[in-house]
Amino acid sequence: MNFFLKFFRILPPELAHRLALDSLNFIHKIGILNLFYKKPELETFSFAGMNFKNRLGTAAGLDKNGDYIDCLGELGFGFLEVGTVTPIQQYGNSKPRVFRNFQDESIINRLGFNNKGVDHLVKNLKSRSYKGIVGVNVGANKKSKGEQRVKDYLYCIEKVYKYADYITVNISSPNTPNLRDLHNMDNLSDLVLSIEDKVKELNIGIPFFLKISPDETNDSIDNIIKTVESSFFQGIIATNTTIDKTNLSNKKFNNIEGGLSGRPLMDRSTETIKAIKIKSDKEIPVIGVGGVMNAADFNKKIDAGSELVQIYTGFVIKGPNILSDILKKDD
């Protein structure tokens, strides 16, 4: 595995990402994955009415289109979250748009919800062999504004809910213009009420989670907590990437636009989890994500109050062996 990691590091980031997952998918399909990788022991866990193989899952963005559900599931993840998906296919922002900073174990991306559209994802969800938990992260197309942006979320929800175990509503990407305005109290309330009406209309019984930004003020966090507590949402996913790059030691990355993930996000995202737990009257369930690079980071998320933990950048930089590192200490 170390050889492949070194090889992929010399390739352009998006090419490396695709080739790595394509290679994983290939060796899975021909039945030799176990020759390269030893699956960690699994320990079941129940949360929000769902039964998980363990507490570690993938964050949205790793498999945007659900093209790699079966091979990622075979690695031993407790759950997978695919997306972010939008109603229609979109290319995303112009390249270059992904920047790997190995010195800080971080990635900056400004992808902009590039994906093949919700119909492609639904096709993959229908045909998957993986029997574990699969969540779907939904968003809005870049060109959608105002009321149409809300309709985009509703459209995706209606398309995927029959084939997903849970749905995440993503209002926190920094790479879609003005998307984070949905954190504002009035905008968030309108979105949540619209989704709640759709849930009642379709009698949707699966859990919903709200994925939030790590860059919110205390007042904004308070408003988000109040909104979630009084709604049908099951919990919060904390957090997405940050636009704050002041703590990077490799200063050449400081002025690159986009969302920062990886080790520099660890403390900020964990503090957001703690704030939600402290301020919530109803002990809102939290799925923690951001900066998990090893078992110690994973345990810090759990200690902060996360019921589940997701990884993305840690998997990209460390490779599949990060699962064994984390799950052998998952108690």
Length of the chain counted residue by residue: 331
CA dist., res. 61 & res. 180, Å (int): 17
Q: Rounded distance, CA 254 to CA 108, Å?
A: 10
- Is 127 a residue of the active site? no
Tokens of 273: 């989890």
In angstroms, rounded to a whole number, what is the distance separating the alpha carbons of residues 288 and 268?
11
Q: How many CB atoms lie under 10 A from the CB of residue 93?
A: 18
Which residue type occupies 235? G
| Residue 106 host element (H or E) | strand 106-109
Pairwise CA distance, residues 234 & 35, whole Å? 39
262: left (phi over 0), alpha (psi -120 to 50) or beta: left
Which residue among the candidates 106, 144, 172, 173 is catalytic per the annotation? 173
39 vs 265: CA distance, rounded Å: 28
Rounded distance between C-alpha atoms, residue 315 and residue 71, angstroms: 14
Measure the CA–CA gap between 134 and 68, rounded to whole angstroms. Answer: 12
Q: What are residue 279's phi and psi, to 5 degrees?
A: -85, -15
Provide the β-strand partners of residue 210. Answer: 169, 236
Residue 238 CA to residue 196 CA, distance in Å, equals 21
Tokens linked to 105: 């174990």
Collect all residues with Cβ–Cβ distance below 8 Å to 106 and sequence separation of at least 6: 100, 248, 253, 260, 261, 262, 263, 264, 265, 313
Q: What is the C-alpha to C-alpha distance for residues 208 and 228, in angstroms, rounded to an integer?
A: 10
Where in the sequence numbering do the catalytic residues fall?
173
